Structure 1
């Protein structure tokens, strides 16, 4: 029984896609796997991130989803988890998340957990998402991108992970969007250097943009990226 958390440097960075792809990869290897979104905000009806996971995994909505175990908290207000919970006249109980994880792990070999927002998003007044993961010794995959601001956010995230002694399982470089080649290559160089400086393996997984409308010629660019190390 293993679990891993997919986190990100910010919101809207590709966590849901990476979570679904990782779960699909584990599933094709023959393992029983499910995903979890402990807190979904801006949620009206079924949690959109869980639905996205299932589409990518080519899996149906199942009994664990129906019981609310894969998304214990689903709040209508589109804000930070602690605020969305307060506006719903409740609070996020970490033990409820623990119980849901334990139940899911009792029936699956792998549990892939998608975080909400960035690492230091508060679940409550005294608990951030990263502190929750640290207390449960859950390893982290960090998703980043070449968009402006990501260098600062990525290095701050790596610093926060190291300071709390959380295990970093890998860095995913999400290339979705139209980014200048110069920024794509330079940000990758900076990220690899930062991984080494913070004592993490200098391994980065590339996630190319597969949209048909994408104008970037990924073949030569990926060759250039590989040439960077």
Structure 2
């Protein structure tokens, strides 16, 4: 079993889109599962509490919606620590760890998607997203954008992860539109960070070429 933690340089950078794209493409070749431990911004649909990221992933990948892919569904569209406080719900990390352990036994690749960016509180003053990453010890896939300002956001996140001794598996540049400044942003981030493993995903891209996918995840045909 291989596990990967998918995080981003911030909110709305496309973590769920990239998670869904990886999930859909990896499932073609190897048993793959997805887990979103905590989701804020949930809503009621047909009297059932629905997690928007799970809904997007299920629609994108063509699978049935499965609420078991998320342990904590919170309605306020704010950071997990604040959403749980507003709803007076305690986030028990043991429940999350137990669910990860259960999923690990049933799949070959487990994609765990965080909430927000790297420095997001899960439990106020006690436990942060980077603590979670360190605890489960999965290599991190960092989702960045190619917009103006992307260099700063990417490099700050990379340096912070390294300061916490969190392994970076690779970086995904999401939302690429083939502009010259985007090419330069990518070039600067790769050169200054020294990261060799990366993917560039165009806007509305819904497939990844097999060799690119396998190279990024260090997979071999014999394993799939």
TM-score (norm 1): 0.81
How big is each residue's C-alpha offset from its partner over 1:121-171, in whole Å with a ceiling of 9 and x where there is no partner? 010121111111112211110000122332211111001111111111110
The DSSP-based 3-state class of the residue aligned with 2:182 is: helix
Which consecutive aligned stretches of 4+ in structure 1 deviate over 4 angstroms post-superposition? none
Structure 2 distance, partners of 1:166, 1:149, is: 24
Gaps of 5+ in 1: 212-229
Paired position in structure 2 for 1:32: 31
Contact kept in structure 2, 1:6 and 1:140, CA below 8 Å = yes
Paired position in structure 1 for 2:167: 167
Q: What is the 5 A alignment of 1:82-121?
A: 82-121=81-120
Residue 194 of structure 1, CA deviation: 2.3
Q: Does 1:210 align with 2:204?
A: yes
Structure 2 distance, partners of 1:101, 1:158, is: 25
Count of matched residue positions in the alignment of Structure 1 and Structure 2: 199
Of 48-57 and 2-11, deviating more is 48-57
Of 75-84 and 108-117, deviating more is 108-117
Paired position in structure 2 for 1:52: 56
How big is each residue's C-alpha offset from its partner over 1:29-55, in whole Å with a ceiling of 9 and x where there is no partner? 0x2222111111110122111122222
Structure 2 distance, partners of 1:149, 1:80, is: 23
Structure 1 distance, partners of 2:149, 2:82, is: 25
Structure 2 distance, partners of 1:194, 1:118, is: 21
Q: What is the 5 A alignment of 1:67-216?
A: 68=68, 70-125=69-124, 126-175=126-175, 181-196=179-194, 201-210=195-204
Structure 2 distance, partners of 1:49, 1:81, is: 14
Residue 184 of structure 1, CA deviation: 0.5
Alignment RMSD (CA, Å): 1.7
Q: Hey, which of these two has a bigger chunk of strand by percent? A: 2
Residue 182 of structure 1, CA deviation: 3.3
TM-score (norm 2): 0.83
The DSSP-based 3-state class of the residue aligned with 2:185 is: helix
Gaps of 5+ in 2: 44-48, 206-224
Contact kept in structure 1, 2:40 and 2:78, CA below 8 Å = yes
